[in-house]
Amino acid sequence: LIWWNSKKEEISSFLVPIISIIVAFLVAAVMIKATGKSPWAAYKLLFEGAFGSSLKEFFSLKEAGEGFLKGSILTLTGLSVAVAFRVGLFNIGAEGQFIMGAIVAAYLGFKLNMTPWIDIPLILIAVIIVSGLYAAFAGWLKITRGVHEVITTIMLNWIAVHLVENWIVVGPFNIQRYRPEAILAGTPYVKEASRLKPFFQGTRLNGSIIIAILAVIFVYILMNRTVLGYEIQATGKNPDAARYSGINTARTMLIAMFISGALAGVSGACMILGTEGHYPGVFRPGYGFDGITMALIGNNAAIGTLFSSMFFGFVRAGATGMQLIGIHKTFADIIQGVATLFVAGQVGIKYLLFKIGEKKVIKEEAQSGVS
C-alpha cells in the first residue's frame, strides 16, 4: 500500500490520457454505428490512410509522411501551450502567435534570397522574437495590471487575425502589388532558398519534423535540467511559495510566455515555409487551439505532448480515408474532442483508478498475510 501511494500519481498521469483516447474511439465507434456504417471498416480505412496498407507504403512515407507532418505542427503548438501551463498561465493565444509567426515568415521568405542555411535560420529567429514578444505582452499585462491572460490572449488572437488578414495580406503585402497578373489571394510566394522542401518525392514531409523534434528536446531539457525550468514549475505550482523562496516570479512568467509564443510562431512559420509557400488570403487552420488539446493529453510534458501530437496527426491524416464509406474527414475532430473532454475530467478518472488500485493492493496484502 505504501508503494501504491507513492506511485499512484505517476501511474494515473500515464494511464488517464491512454484511457481517454480509448474511450474517445469507443464513443466515436458508437456514433459511426448510429449512422449505419461499420466502425471496423471506418477504423480500418483510417489506419490505412494514416500508415498505408503495407510496410513498404509506410516506409515510403506516402501516407505516413502526412501524419508526421501534421503531428510536427501540432507538437510545436502543443509545446507552446504546455510551457505556459507549467508556469501557471493559460495561453489561449497560440493561434494568434501562430498567425504572427506565419506572416513574418511569409514576408522574410519573400524578401530574403540567399541560401537555405542562412535564410531559414534568420526567418526562424525573427519569428521567435516577434511571436515571443506578442505572447509576452499578455504576460506583462498579467504581471503589471492583473489582467487575466485568458482575456488578453483571446483578444490578441483577433487582433492578429484582423491585422494580418484584413490589412497586411489585402493591402501592403498583397500579391497583386508585386504580380498584377496574379489571380490568387494572399501574399507573394517565398523564395526557393527559404522553402522547407519535401524529403522525398510523393510526400509533403519536410524539415518541420526536425524543427519539432529539436523543440521537444529543448523543452525537455529546459524543464528537467535547468534552473529556469525549476523556477517555471515552482511558479506554476505555487507562485507565493516560489516568491518567498527567492524566485523572481514576474520574470519567470514573462520568459515562459515568450517561449510559449515563440514555439507557436515557429509552428506557423513551418507551415508557410513548408506546405503553403505563402500566406493565403484566409489562413486559420486552428493548430493554435489544437495545441491546448495536445498539451492536456500529453500531461504538459515534452515527450507526452510529442506522442499525443503525433497520434492525432496520424488520426487527421488517415481520416480522409474514411470518406470512402461516407464518413466525413472532420470525424477525427470528434475523436479529439471526446478525448479532451475525458482528459479535462481526469479528476474523476484518477479517483476511479486510485480506488481500484487501492482495493487490489489491500486484497493482495490481505491474502499474503493469511498465507
- pLDDT tens digit string along 175-193? 888 888 878 889 999 999 9
Q: Is the pLDDT of residue 284 over 90?
A: no
| Per-residue pLDDT at 282 | 82
Least confident of 108-122, 280-294, 320-334: 320-334
Report CA dihedral (337, 208, 127, 293) to the nearest 10 degrees.
10
The predicted pLDDT at position 366 comes to: 56
Q: What does the pLDDT read at residue 334?
A: 85
Output 228 or 336, whichever has higher pLDDT: 228
- Percent of the chain past pLDDT 90, that is, above it, reads 59
Residue 349 pLDDT exceeds 60: no
Query: Which residue would you say has higher pLDDT here, 329 or 298?
Result: 298
| b/e per residue 219-239 (b: at least 16 CB within 10 A) | bbebbeeeeebbbbbbbbeeb
Cα dist from 100 to 46, 160, 178, 268, 362, whole Å: 33, 6, 22, 8, 55
d(CA 55, CA 299): 31
Q: Annotate 130-155 with DSSP letters as a single string.
A: HHHHHHHHHHHHHHHH---HHHHHHH
Rounded to an integer, the average pLDDT of 148-156 is 96
Instruction: Judge whether 21 and 334 are in contact, CB under 8 Å.
Output: no
Cβ density class 89-108: b for 16+ within 10 Å, e for less:
bebbbbbbbbbbbbbbbbbb
pLDDT of residue 57: 73
Average pLDDT of the chain?
Answer: 88
- Prediction pTM value: 0.88
Among residues 132, 143, 294, 303, the alpha carbon closest in space to that of 223 is found at 303
pLDDT of residue 10: 61
- What is residue 361's predicted lDDT score, i.e. its pLDDT? 52
pLDDT score recorded for residue 365:
56
Give one word for 86, left, alpha or beta, with left for phi > 0 and alpha for psi -120 to 50: alpha
What is residue 101's predicted lDDT score, i.e. its pLDDT?
98
Instruction: Calculate Rg over the CA atoms of the chain.
Output: 23
CA gap 210, 63 in Å, rounded? 18
Q: What is the distance between the alpha carbons of residues 24 and 162, in angstroms, rounded to a whole number?
A: 35
Of the two residues 103 and 338, the one the predictor is more confident about is 103
Contacts 24+ apart (CB under 8 A), 365-369: 365/1
The distance between the two most distant Cα atoms of the chain, rounded to a whole number of Å, is 88
CB 178 within 8 A of CB 166: no
For helices 331-344 and 302-319, the axis angle rounded to 10 degrees is 150
Instruction: Supply 52's cell numbers.
Output: 498505408
Q: 3 pLDDT exceeds 90?
A: no
Predicted pLDDT at 353: 55
Specify the higher pLDDT residue, 229 or 2: 229
In which residue are the cell numbers 521568405 written? Answer: 109
Alpha-carbon distance of 232 to 91, in angstroms, equals 15
Residues 68-109: pLDDT tens digits? 999 999 999 999 999 999 999 999 999 999 999 999 999 999
Residue range 350-367: mean pLDDT, rounded = 56
Q: Which of 255, 241, 280, 262 has its CA nearest to residue 93?
A: 262
In this predicted structure, the answer to whether residue 287 has a pLDDT above a threshold of 60 is yes
| CB 88 within 8 Å of CB 239 | yes
Contact 82, 301 (CB under 8 A): yes
pLDDT of residue 165: 93
Q: Tell me what pLDDT residue 226 has.
A: 96
Q: Per-domain residue ranges for the chain?
A: 70-76+85-287
